[in-house]
Amino acid sequence: MRRYEKGFTIYRNGDNPVWVAPHVGSSFETPTSRDWNSDTVASLCWLKQGGSLVLSTLTRKRIWGVDYNRDPPSYETAVRAYPDFVADKNRARLSKYRSKYAFVAKNKADYTERLRIYETFWTTVGNLGSIIILIHRKFARMKNYPSVIDIVTYEGKGVDTSTIKKVLEQINKKYFEKLFNISEQYKRFILMDTERVCSRIKDVFGEFSLEKADAEYKHWLKDDLSSLAELLGQDEINKLMSNFSLERFLGVVKRALSLNIKPSVTLENIFKGRKALSVKSKFFNKHFLIMEAEVNAFLGYWYPKLAADIICDIVKLLRAAKLYAHLGIRQTKMEDFI
């Protein structure tokens, strides 16, 4: 079955799981404004295990579309913020708004339409099945290293913590060799993406500088510096900060990547899933299993099948656990669907 809704598309082949790519809509203005290849990984999971596949068809840029992974604003909040997004000047204020709210609105009619799309999306996801897996893309950057997939359970609310920890132990043992074999490619990808962002900072602000960068980019750099300090020690970062430059920053990144650290699947190593909790909280009960898989951009682009295999195995092992045995999966033949 295929169904086209305003703001998203549904493909169905059985009751469970529900594979959701909420950030796969259009890339407006910047190529990174969508979770590229999250639809690739989600569709491979669906083709392998069946269930339902829900793909966003809207950009998450607030002025143009809807971010399904944030909470809906009140009418007053949405309308008040609209001129700020049109002006696009106070980046700190815009960033704070984006971290909390799903959209802005020009007027009452605009607000009503976007809210209806948002609510229909989440109602549909909940009605399609009881095992909900949200697929995202996370950047290949030092902040996220060495995790290739970060599993998010909303700090144990969506999936039992002790159960998922045991599952991930098995997953990392099973996929150790495969992840080890791609580790050097993964490191090169991180370095290349770090260079991309550094180049962007230099182009936008005239130089690569913590002082000149705005709040968003400054936060990006500080997150990476924090991760680098964990890997290399704070003394190394103090030396860098005493004479901060693009060349020295990239040198520190290269030193961190030269360490003998292997890629792995992690549990809330970076992401805690604290966004859009008001809409997801209805799934925090024994009748549902809900989690997110934050797939590294490298794995989703170069090895999407490997990413899908890992996620499908996680779901399979969770279903085998006594706690979730009552959540069934029924699948028709994929050939019949196609």
Residue pointed to by tokens 């085998």: 320
Angle (deg, nearest 10), helices 215-232 and 234-242:
130
Its pTM surpasses 0.75: yes
Tally of CB atoms within 10 A around 57:
14
The closest of 11, 83, 3 to 331, measured between CA atoms, is 11
Pairwise CA distance, residues 205 & 212, whole Å: 6
Pairwise CA distance, residues 277 & 266, whole Å: 21
Q: Are 290 and 280 in contact (CB under 8 A)?
A: yes
| First-to-last C-alpha distance (Å) of the chain | 9
Pairwise CA distance, residues 114 & 104, whole Å: 9
The per-residue DSSP string of 227-243 comes to: HHHHHH-HHHHHHHHHT
Sequential pLDDT tens for the chain (338 residues) = 889 999 999 999 988 999 999 999 888 787 778 888 999 999 999 999 999 999 999 999 999 999 999 999 999 999 999 999 999 888 889 989 999 999 999 999 999 999 999 999 999 999 999 999 999 999 999 999 999 999 999 999 999 999 999 999 999 999 999 999 999 999 999 999 999 999 989 998 899 988 888 878 888 899 999 999 999 999 999 999 999 999 999 999 999 999 999 999 999 998 888 877 888 999 999 899 999 999 999 999 999 999 999 999 999 999 988 788 878 654 444 344 33
The closest of 188, 145, 174, 151 to 295, measured between CA atoms, is 151
The 3-state secondary structure of 173-217 reads HHCHHHHHHCHHHHHHHHHHHHHHHHHHHHHHHCCCCCCCCCHHH
Domains in the chain, CATH or no CATH each? 2-177+263-337 (3.40.630.40), 183-262 (no CATH)
Q: Are 8 and 121 in contact (CB under 8 A)?
A: yes
What's the Rg (C-alpha) of the chain? 21
Q: 32: helix, coil or strand?
A: helix
Residues paired with 54 in a beta bridge: 10, 20
Phi and psi of 162, rounded to 5°? Answer: -65, -35
Tokens of 317: 């092992």
Pairing of strands 264-267, 147-152: parallel
Angle (deg, nearest 10), helices 304-320 and 38-49:
50
